[in-house]
Amino acid sequence: MTARQRHGTGRGPEATTPAAEAGTFTLGGDLTVNRMGFGAMRITGRGIFGPPADPEECIRVLRRSVELGVNFIDTADSYGPYVSEELIAQALYPYPDGLVIATKAGLERPGPDQWKPNGRPEHIRRECEGSLRRLRVERIDLYQLHRIDSAVPEDEQFGVMAELVREGKVRHVGLSEVDAAAVERARRVVPIVSVQNRYNVADREWENTVDYCEREDVAFIPWYPLGAGDVQVERAVERVATRHGASPMQVALAWLLDRSPVMLPIPGTSKVRHLEENVAAAALRLTDEDRVELGAAAA
Ligand SMILES: NC(=O)c1ccc[n+]([C@@H]2O[C@H](COP(=O)([O-])OP(=O)(O)OC[C@H]3O[C@@H](n4cnc5c(N)ncnc54)[C@H](OP(=O)(O)O)[C@@H]3O)[C@@H](O)[C@H]2O)c1
């Protein structure tokens, strides 16, 4: 069975919320989420450091995302640091059934816009305890190694993730900014259910990794999904948007959802109006003409 057959990729009779319009993906064989998710990095201060300028609006964003059917939220201990996880708990705890909160560890934050890998097992373990406490959960549904730290043996980093699963503190493990070879190395130590790499309609560096994830039924979580920076691509995105009466952001998200059934976009925003616009993209269906235009533009 192909990933396309395994996962609901299109609107079904069960699609009762805007986020459900793009179908579902089942993480690790037991956690089914709507493919249109939410990234909670932007509900923090400038440089992803400290509290956001408008915390009340960020709380509204989180609550509205759940109302719209989003049940996959991505965060990290390093967003703020800690601010994003704390706001998620403040806005949404006690959590609605079926809400999957994915968090990450492995990056320290000396200051705004500064990210320092730390994959030492004792650090990951300490951060896991902190995330459990801040998110007020007994087990983290998806725990992602934010970066493989080149200063620490890989197997020690994968090994601590495996231990956290065995101890019941983590349900599933994911990696970030990795190629297929790294996933294969990690899989000798711990099952990997997701890969989170930078990817969007204008930035397809990880194209082969998307294909690998599709073959292996591993979720591909594209970060920076709205970063359509290339002018030529932007023109194509704009042309397609005009044809559909949609926004370029919506076309960028629809392209991702269309690209693979294992794709789980997590657009981030600190504004309710942007959230509503982004989630509505789950219902946008591209035509063959759109695919050719968007595909050729980035080639
Ligand atoms: N694994 C990693 O290394 C890694 C790295 C970066 C991010 N991430 C994850 O990926 C998620 C998404 O990445 P990202 O936040 O960098 O990029 P993104 O989702 O492509 O872009 C977010 C930015 O676009 C703006 N925006 C969002 N919706 C908009 C709309 N409809 N119209 C106009 N502007 C809009 C937001 O500003 P406003 O707040 O003004 O809407 C925000 O500044 C993050 O939240 C985080 O969970 C992971």
* pLDDT tens-digit readout, 35-86: 999 999 999 999 999 999 999 999 999 999 999 999 999 999 999 999 999 9
The pLDDT score that the predictor gives to residue 227 is 77
Q: Does the annotation mark 79 as catalytic? A: yes
Got the DSSP string for 160-182?
A: HHHHHHHTTSEEEEEEES--HHH
Residue pointed to by tokens 């759940």:
66
What gap in Å lies between CA 219 and CA 235, rounded to an integer?
29
User: Which pLDDT band, with edges at 50, 70 and 90, does 121 fall under?
Assistant: very high
The count of C-alpha atoms lying within 13 angstroms of the C-alpha of 184, restricted to the half-sphere facing its C-beta, is 6
The pLDDT score that the predictor gives to residue 233 is 67
Q: What is the pTM of this model?
A: 0.96
Quick check: 11 pLDDT over 70?
no
CA of 249, closest atom in ligand 1: 31
The CA 196 to ligand 1 mean position distance, Å, reads 14
Q: What are 171's two structure tokens? A: 């349900």
Q: Is the CB of 277 under 6 A from ligand 1?
A: yes
List the residue whose alpha carbon is closest to atom 27 of ligand 1.
269
**In the sheet where 140-145 sits, what is the strand order?**
38-39, 72-74, 100-105, 140-145, 170-176, 192-198, 219-223
Q: CA quadruple 63, 68, 70, 74: dihedral positive or negative?
A: negative
235 Cβ contact list (under 8 Å, min separation 6) = 297
The pLDDT score that the predictor gives to residue 7 is 65
Segment 87-97 mean pLDDT? 98
The CA 184 to ligand 1 mean position distance, Å, reads 29
The radius of gyration of the chain's CA atoms, rounded to the nearest angstrom, is 18
Instruction: Kindly list the distances between the CA atom of residue 70 and the CA atoms of 10, 32, 96, 162, 221, in Å, as whole numbers in the listed order.
Output: 16, 12, 11, 28, 15
Q: Pocket of ligand 1, candidates 87, 113, 223: which has the most ligand atoms within 8 Å of its Cβ, to mutate?
A: 223
Average pLDDT of the residues of the chain = 94
Quick check: 180 pLDDT over 60?
yes
pLDDT > 70 fraction of the chain, expressed in percent and rounded: 92
pLDDT digits (tens, 9 = 90+) for 184-241: 999 999 999 999 999 999 999 999 999 999 999 999 999 999 874 455 667 899 999 9
Segment 143-165 mean pLDDT? 98
